[in-house]
Structure 1
Amino acid sequence: MSWTEENGSLVRTFKTPDFLTAYHLVGAVVGPAEGLNHHPDIAFGWGYVRIALTTHDANGITDLDHQLARLIDDAVKPFGL
């Protein structure tokens, strides 16, 4: 599944095999987010991680959100998702 637009945010939900994988996937997102100083909304639990990106100052999706989405996609490749 790829990123979709929902209510002014870029959203992607990753399916994971268990809670520990979801937790580690969230950890993989921290570096890219800190590097851009652009922080996603993240929800996770057993079997899923949901990430939403929006630029609050712009009240919607900007190039920064698309850039972070690409970095997140790269960061989660080792998980095979």
Structure 2
Amino acid sequence: MSSDVAEFPLLSGDEFVELYKVLKVQGLVDGGGAAKHVISEGLVKVNNDVDTRKRKKCVVGDVIEFNGERIKIVASV
């Protein structure tokens, strides 16, 4: 696994982003359906724990891991 952590800034005014959208927007899967599938299969971790909730609300500070990639949710600038 890479030690690099990509950042995913929340949109201004947003308090959270749904887990499947992070995977989709970051280009780690081909689309929303694929994101929901890998999440339901238990292939995605949030803060080091497997999470199978497709619409889990990810907030600032959460770290998502999938397929050797790590993404940290950050506040928008």
Please tell me the TM-score bracket, short chain as reference: 0.3 to 0.5
Q: Which one has a bigger Cα radius of gyration?
A: 1
**Higher share in helix:** 1
Greater RCO structure (CA 8 Å; 6+ sep): 2
Q: TM-score with structure 2 length normalisation?
A: 0.36
